[in-house]
């Protein structure tokens, strides 16, 4: 499962909207081994294409150096599809080279509803996973209290309520 802060989720969707109709891409880094996506890092799509993305090679080196110095992992690697569903394409699958990352796909094909889904891609095999959006960064102790809104398979616009918080919370996707 991917657990991600609402603010980070919103930032990813906003980046995808901003770069539409080109694909947007970026990383959310987190402390090494923590599986916590904490530091949102939007990247330039060097391909500037509606059907392809690639981090610029120099940016890529800077990014990995910085994560190394800060002892971070690329916990989330995200990109958008602008005319198709938020599911890894054959290209995505064959080029995925971070087996420990959550690959987040956002589709901006519908201007009013964003799709936000998360996958593991290991050795060419795609496994979808639930996305849990939390109100604040998932610090170790505060996680349970803040957790809500598990829409297992990520239709971001779908309204739903969650049973394990005192008051149910309705999730609205940003539509700007």
Cα–Cα distance between 22 and 24 in angstroms, integer? Answer: 6
The residue among 126 and 147 lying less far from other proteins, judged by its C-beta, is 126
Stretch that binds other proteins, among 11-19, 53-61, 142-150, 155-163 (CB under 8 A): 53-61
Question: Near other proteins by CB under 8 A, which window of 23-31, 34-42, 136-144, 166-174?
Answer: 23-31
Q: Bridge-partner residues for 3, per DSSP?
A: 132
Strand-pair category, 125-129 with 131-134: unpaired
- Does position 55 interact with other proteins (CB under 8 A)? The reply is yes
Please identify, using beta-carbon distances, which residue of 6 and 89 lies nearer to other proteins: 89
For the record, the structure tokens of 133 come out as: 């959006």
Options 7, 60, 147, 173; binder of other proteins; rule CB under 8 A:
60
Q: What is the C-alpha separation between 27 and 102, in angstroms, rounded?
A: 10
Classify residue 141 as exposed, middle or buried by CB count within 10 Å of its CB (0-12, 13-18, 19+).
exposed
Please select the residue that binds other proteins; options are 33, 49, 152, 169, rule is CB under 8 A: 49
34 binds other proteins (CB under 8 A): no
Number of residues engaging other proteins in binding (CB under 8 A)? 36
List binders of other proteins among 70-109 (CB under 8 A): 74, 77, 79, 81-84, 88-92, 94-100
Cα separation, 135 vs 13, whole angstroms? 16
């Amino acid at each position: 499962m991917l657990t991600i802060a609402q603010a980070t989720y919103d930032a990813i969707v906003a980046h995808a909207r901003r770069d539409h109709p080109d694909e947007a891409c970026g990383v959310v880094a987190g402390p090494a081994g923590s599986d916590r996506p904490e530091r949102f890092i939007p990247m330039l799509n060097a391909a500037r294409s509606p059907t392809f993305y690639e981090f610029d090679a120099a940016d890529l080196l800077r990014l990995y150096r910085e994560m190394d110095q800060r002892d971070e992992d690329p916990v989330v690697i995200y990109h958008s599809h602008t005319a198709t569903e938020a599911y890894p394409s054959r290209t995505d699958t064959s080029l995925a080279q971070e087996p420990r990352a959550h690959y987040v796909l956002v589709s901006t094909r519908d201007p009013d509803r964003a799709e936000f889904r998360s996958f593991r891609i290991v050795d060419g095999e795609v496994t979808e996973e639930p996305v849990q959006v939390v109100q604040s960064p998932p610090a170790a102790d505060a996680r349970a209290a803040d957790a809500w809104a598990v829409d297992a398979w990520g239709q971001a616009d779908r309204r739903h309520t969650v049973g394990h918080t005192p008051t149910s919370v309705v999730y609205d996707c940003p539509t700007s």
